[in-house]
Chains A and B, each alone.
Chain A
Amino acid sequence: MNILAKERKVRELESKIDELGNKEVTNKLKLEIENYKIEAMTNLTSWDRVLLARHQLRPTAKEYIEYICDDFVELHGDRLFRDDKSIIGGIGTINGNIVTIIAQQKGKNLDENLKRNFAMPHPEGYRKALRLMKQAEKFRRPIITLIDTPGAYPGLEAEERGQGEAIARNLLEMSNLTVPTIAVIIGEGGSGGALALGVTNKMLMLENSIYSILSPEGYATILWKDVSLANEAAEVMKLTSYDLEDFEIIDRIIKEPLGGAHFNKTKTFQNTKQAILEELYQLRKLTGEELRDSRMEKYRKFGFFQRFNYDNL
């Protein structure tokens, strides 16, 4: 039984309890349900976390921004082609810190998702992000990115307008920025489409979010030519926050409440805000040059390889 089935069961039991009148019996049952919940919703598999990262009720970027920021002004457009609504950007204050925020926005329903293109950006989305980041650098503002995308949009027009170039340009320019940069993966971190907002001094990750080179479905197709084995692919591809912490690809895991972020959004937002403020406080001590050099140094270390001796050939 996966996490979604368990969640359904918990909700079912909880709703049934409310129908019972007897207080003594309800209290006892409530405790039992609570115990079941703890048992069922801890020790999640990687696939469980994939399901949670994509959960319909999972908070989206806008909700985080609303809670975390004292105020926020959204800014639109890449000045080249159009405003890509799968990425929102703007200026906000977090506990008095003025920051630039750039986030991938999923929809809550089909209409919203069509408007947001399921949070799959076109090149103009990445170019809007870069425009706002360059402006943040001009005015010495730290940059916070919230990552939540299945991936960059694979389409004719996206290719025509240089999806690869837009992503590459962001990787290059982000590595060169001289202001503090923090990325938080709040849901799905889908490959290059996520990385294009994720070359930062600090990489944070919500406990049940994922970050991978490819969807588990795609990975299963490549590995075993069978898309139905996505759950097994998720286990081997090391995409959970804990896996990535082991590889030191992320710097910090932000804890989620039992059952996932949507069970207690306020708590999730509080934890996220706290983590961002702590990281920001540390990064603010560094000069622009130090921020750039330490960021480059961090990325230069990624990857495992071995020394090769041609005599063994």
Chain B
Amino acid sequence: MAWYSETTTAKKKSKKDLWVKCKKCHSHIYKSEWEENLNVCPNCNYHGSITSYERINLLFDKNTFEELFNNISPIDSLKFNDLKGSYKDKYEATIKKTGISEAVVTGRGKINGIPAIVAVMDFRFLGGSLGSGTGEKILQAANYAYDNNLPYIVFSASGGARMQEGILSLMQMAKTCAGVARLNKKNIPYISVLINPTTGGVSASYAMVGDLNISEPGALIAFAGRRVIEQTIGEKLPDDFQTSEYLREHGFIDSIVNRKDMKDYLSNVLSFYNR
């Protein structure tokens, strides 16, 4: 049967290359069309994931982005092992695969001419989890914004705390909030953009305390997981529970912005804050 299984896998692969299946409406979209539409479903406006560099390209004026603090990467301080192996092996493989050394990319650039500092989390890096290095980069970028009097924008996409770093990960929640808190001293605007998904510890720290909290349509934003809550209260939760629309309805999000409009939206609101 060897010849048969080989051909089918080959066939499957080429099919996969050509089409993208939307996770929400399950329709098949031409990959080129999907990418042209910024990984957003043209049928149902589902916002698929994009990498941190793709987002940076969408956000900043051409050739204005300068990456900062990219020399930080994780270390296995707890000597963590689970069923799938050690933390060290895992992050080393992730660095090789993604080409980034932590779950966030930080830097400066111009958005329609307005200079800003950004931190863009990348879900591909261990689920965008908040490790010591992640927290450090978010803090250093905040300090850079402070020192240079520039607005700070953080795009969050995270499963929450990085379990492999235990209590040290928890401390990053306090550390990043302290960094953001300091911006108040100089009246520097801090804009948090909550991307699908922003959950757990990240949703209970810097991501939720922007001067503006912005999101994309349909993003999952949650502190406690849906399953945990269903188990605790013993009933089914509403379908739109913990979506960006739900959070806006309950008063925790200022605005939901389509990906294609994000750059103009941000430069527009930043112009209000420019002194």
* Interchain CB contact under 8 A, B167 and A199: no
Interface residue tally of chain B, by bracket? 35 or more
Answer yes or no: A181 CB below 8 A from chain B CBs.
no
Answer yes or no: B78 CB below 8 A from chain A CBs.
yes
Binary flags per residue of A149-176, CB closer than 8 Å to B gives 1, else 0? 0001011101111111101110111011
* Complex partner residue of B177 from A171, A239, A247, CB under 8 angstroms: A171
Residues of B within 8 A of A163 (CB): 204, 223-224
Known: A154-B229, A308-B71. A162 touches B83 (CB 8 A): no
* Interchain CB contact under 8 A, A296 and B132: no
* Interchain CB contact under 8 A, A213 and B223: no
Residues of B within 8 A of A211 (CB): 167
C-alpha spacing A21/B183, complex, angstroms? 73
* Complex partner residue of A305 from B82, B131, B242, CB under 8 angstroms: B131
C-alpha spacing A198/B205, complex, angstroms? 13
Binary flags per residue of B230-263, CB closer than 8 Å to A gives 1, else 0? 0011000100011000000011100000000000
* Interchain CB contact under 8 A, B170 and A161: no
Interface residue tally of chain A, by bracket? 35 or more
Which residues in chain A, 213-272, are within 8 Å of chain B measured between CB atoms?
213-214, 219, 222-225, 236-239, 244, 247, 249
* Interchain CB contact under 8 A, B171 and A155: no
CB distance from A199 to the nearest CB of B (A): 5
Known: A222-B163, A308-B73. A159 touches B232 (CB 8 A): no
C-alpha spacing A313/B101, complex, angstroms? 10
C-alpha spacing A196/B179, complex, angstroms? 16
Binary flags per residue of B103-143, CB closer than 8 Å to A gives 1, else 0? 00000000000000000000000000001110110010000
Known: A168-B209, A213-B169. A303 touches B136 (CB 8 A): yes
Binary flags per residue of A297-313, CB closer than 8 Å to B gives 1, else 0? 00110111111111001
* Complex partner residue of A237 from B139, B166, B233, B242, CB under 8 angstroms: B166
CB distance from A90 to the nearest CB of B (A): 25
* Complex partner residue of A223 from B83, B161, B204, B222, CB under 8 angstroms: B83
Residues of A within 8 A of B169 (CB): 213
C-alpha spacing A304/B171, complex, angstroms? 11
CB distance from A242 to the nearest CB of B (A): 13
* Interchain CB contact under 8 A, B132 and A304: yes
Known: A163-B204, A165-B252, A169-B209. A213 touches B178 (CB 8 A): no
C-alpha spacing A48/B169, complex, angstroms? 24
Answer yes or no: B43 CB below 8 A from chain A CBs.
no
Residues of A within 8 A of B252 (CB): 162, 165
C-alpha spacing A140/B201, complex, angstroms? 31
C-alpha spacing A175/B251, complex, angstroms? 24
Answer yes or no: A280 CB below 8 A from chain B CBs.
no
Select the residue from A158, A214, A239 with max chain B CB neighbours within 10 A.
Answer: A214
Binary flags per residue of B43-86, CB closer than 8 Å to A gives 1, else 0? 00000000000000000000000000011111101101011000
* Interchain CB contact under 8 A, B242 and A307: no
Answer yes or no: A92 CB below 8 A from chain B CBs.
no
Answer yes or no: A195 CB below 8 A from chain B CBs.
yes
C-alpha spacing A164/B78, complex, angstroms? 27
A residues apposed to B, CB below 8 Å: 152, 154-156, 158-165, 167-169, 171-173, 175-176, 191-192, 195-196, 198-199, 211-214, 219, 222-225, 236-239, 244, 247, 249, 295-296, 299-300, 302-310, 313
B residues apposed to A, CB below 8 Å: 70-75, 77-78, 80, 82-83, 95-96, 99, 101-102, 131-133, 135-136, 139, 161, 163, 165-175, 177-182, 184, 201, 203-209, 221-225, 228-229, 232-233, 237, 241-242, 250-252
